Structure 1
Amino acid sequence: MFLKGNYKTIEPASGAIIMANGIFLIGAVEAFPTLDQVYGKYLAFFLLVAWVIIYKDLTIQFFHRDFIIPFIQNPVHSFVIGTWIAGVSVLCNVFLRYFPEILLLTQAMGILNTFLWLFFLVNCIYNFKQLTVDHRDYPVHGAILLSTVGTQSIIILLNNVFFQFPVYFSQSIILLGILFYLAGATLLVNRYIKHHDWTLTDDWANTNCIIHGALSITGLAIVTTNTFTPGFVIYFWLLVFVLLVAVELIEVIRAIKRIRQYGWNKGLFTYNVTQWSRNFTFGMFYTFSLIMQTNPFYSMPDWLFSFQRNFMDVWAWVVLLALVWEIAIFIKARVGTLYREKWEMT
């Protein structure tokens, strides 16, 4: 079952790269017609190439004992399997948008992704038990909310790739994701309230933006499957909007503090794979809002429709510029790594 020999190590959370770039191509890209209509298929193809490279390394690494055993046993880090699931789900939706002619391949990927989610489901239940019973003081962060992200991405994928599932089935999966969110959010609140030995500069994780991102994908799952009432969705969207503003204000304060303490380069321009989670959450909120507006089942007051539309006109640029920024930081880090490796060889 396990592979032997050396292998190329890769950050387990690298699936977030596909999530972040893919959600732009199925959401905020609609605000940029040239990117969508002229370059969309090329960008989707580049995303496919990136997916093949990343997931090849993730798969090889997964089947090595020295990686998988400690990875699965880590009660927080193993939640990043949710990025693998959401990455495939987002990629399949990109295929539906730009390459509808390969539907059979997309459906096959959807089936395989569902089996991976079932494995992840067992892992989530086990780890929530670990964090609530055996490891109560474990330093959790927003990655545990990937339990919700992975779960909601599956119901969105199945409804889009196959057919509209019965409402009760979709509601059950969505409610499971909400249950995971409540459990994860409770653990996060306990971590930051009960423990006082943490600082915003060093202990507020990049993944904490999933506090609003996990709810955005829950909202997207709801408006994709036509579950719950329009009134509920309106209040739900307002809740997510408030959390988005609150969490990102914390992020701005954190960025200022990090610049003051570490300088611009280390404080703001240093790459970490978890930063892609922010791009994903930004893009997911836009996509949730977009589908909510275009789905006739979810009518809303004129004032809210107008507010959403005006906000989305600005937010689309935030999503795009944040993505370009992250790609630039990623390239900077890769060039620096290659330069150091070349220097060490000489």
Structure 2
Amino acid sequence: MLGCMIKVAGEMGMRSKDNMKIINPASGSVIMALGIFLYAAIEAFPFLDHIMGETLTVVLAVIALLVYKSLTFQFFHKDFLLPFLKNPVNSFVTGTWIAGISVLCNVIIKYFPELSAVVQVMGVINTILWFLFLVSCVYNFKQLFQRPRRHSIHGVILLSTVATQSLVIVWVEVFPFLPDVLELVVMVLGIFFYICGMFMIGIRYGKAKQWSLTEDWTNTNCIIHGALSITGLAIVSSQWMSALFIMIFWLVVFTLLIIVEMIEIIRAVKRVRQFGWKEGVFTYNISQWARNFTFGMFYAFSWTMHENPYYMNAMYDFHESFLSFWAWMVLVTLVVEIGLWVESKWPVSQGQKNSLPFD
């Protein structure tokens, strides 16, 4: 598993005109997915947590270093930067860069608390990146509101919420001296981004004359519930709301998760019938990491709430059983995703890929 995780950092499948090897701009989602497992779901597996937790954290840090090094060099290359920034939908994938650093910060603090000074520096850098991302979000949302049907809008725009709430969680953990009102304002801003994003997604799928579930419903739409899960984690971490509010919020997220994943199951069945198992379901695409992250984030939200006596409620026993099941769901889907990545690099069988891009 260690070898596979390191190889994931090699998600560099494109080359520019001058033969410069470049990394997929959404590669931050790999850090998000691997990191959120180490942050929460790994607790359900004592061997991985107590025996391999520190080692896996170091591996994650190495992967992150390679990914962000490539992203940094690539960002200043005009062949990549200009076309990327001109697409108001795809530009939101930079949110994975911020969320990835945020998750990494929390994982490092968990296993290496003595490195708090290093994590604080990372947190400051991430905050600066978020301010730049904030300007980009405002500009891109403005463009999308002006011409909502010009681009194929989907769940990737909700990374505006994910990145924003991930920063709040880091602030709570690493900068406890920050004023509570600042955390609240940023948290509300993340919720505002979610409302804007859902409105735009509703326009795309609700008013479109014709769209196909197999082709037009993208992997990133799982962020519909994932963005709310990280919002819930931010609220629980900062302890802003009452136990009753959090329970109602959790039920809303849980309902959305069931609805969205039921759509995904129907979509998978249709794709298998149309393309077969390999091309329909088991073809690697980097956007699939978004599902691993959202599954892991819902576990993190539920687990953090469950572990805090303040949020004990009538559903406590249900949460206990659910978390036992969901931890395995997070682990299995993560292993499957790593397997798909490995197979994409060293295919067992030949065949044309039918992947789903971010746009």
Q: Secondary structure at the match of 1:74?
A: coil
> What is aligned with 2:342?
331
333, 348, 355: which one pairs with 1:322?
A: 333
Matches within 5 A, 1:1-346: 7-163=20-176, 165-296=178-309, 298-301=310-313, 303-336=314-347
Q: Aligned equivalents of 1:169 and 1:107: distance in 2?
A: 17
- Alignment deviations for residues 157-204 of structure 1 (CA, whole Å, 9 cap, x no partner): 111112153332211111100000000001101111100321111110
**Contact 1:95/1:102 (CA < 8 Å) preserved in 2?**
yes
- Structure with more of its chain in helix, by fraction: 1
Shift in Å, 1:119: 0.4
Shift in Å, 1:295: 2.3
Q: Aligned equivalents of 2:178 and 2:142: distance in 1?
A: 30
Q: TM-score w.r.t. structure 1 length?
A: 0.93
**Contact 2:155/2:220 (CA < 8 Å) preserved in 1?**
yes
The amino acid of 2:127's aligned partner reads T
Percent identical: 54
Q: Secondary structure at the match of 1:293?
A: helix
Q: Secondary structure at the match of 2:151?
A: coil
Across the two proteins, how many residue pairs are aligned to each other?
A: 334
- Alignment deviations for residues 60-97 of structure 1 (CA, whole Å, 9 cap, x no partner): 11011121122112110000001000000001111001
Q: Secondary structure at the match of 1:75?
A: coil
**Contact 1:234/1:300 (CA < 8 Å) preserved in 2?**
no
**Contact 2:149/2:204 (CA < 8 Å) preserved in 1?**
no
**Contact 2:28/2:96 (CA < 8 Å) preserved in 1?**
yes
- Alignment deviations for residues 277-322 of structure 1 (CA, whole Å, 9 cap, x no partner): 00000000000011112223x3332x31111111111000000000
Q: Aligned equivalents of 2:226 and 2:85: distance in 1?
A: 24
The amino acid of 1:94's aligned partner reads V
Q: Aligned equivalents of 2:73 and 2:341: distance in 1?
A: 23
Q: Secondary structure at the match of 2:334?
A: helix
**Contact 2:25/2:94 (CA < 8 Å) preserved in 1?**
yes
Shift in Å, 1:26: 0.6
Q: Aligned equivalents of 1:192 and 1:311: distance in 2?
A: 32
The amino acid of 2:323's aligned partner reads M
Which ranges in structure 1 are unaligned for 5 or more consecutive residues?
A: 341-346
**Contact 1:85/1:150 (CA < 8 Å) preserved in 2?**
yes
Shift in Å, 1:135: 4.4
User: Where has structure 1 moved over 6 Å in runs of 4 or more?
Assistant: none
Q: Which stretch has the larger CA shift, 158-167 or 258-267? A: 158-167
Q: TM-score w.r.t. structure 2 length?
A: 0.90
The amino acid of 1:201's aligned partner reads T
Q: Which stretch has the larger CA shift, 99-108 or 247-256? A: 99-108
Q: Secondary structure at the match of 1:138?
A: coil
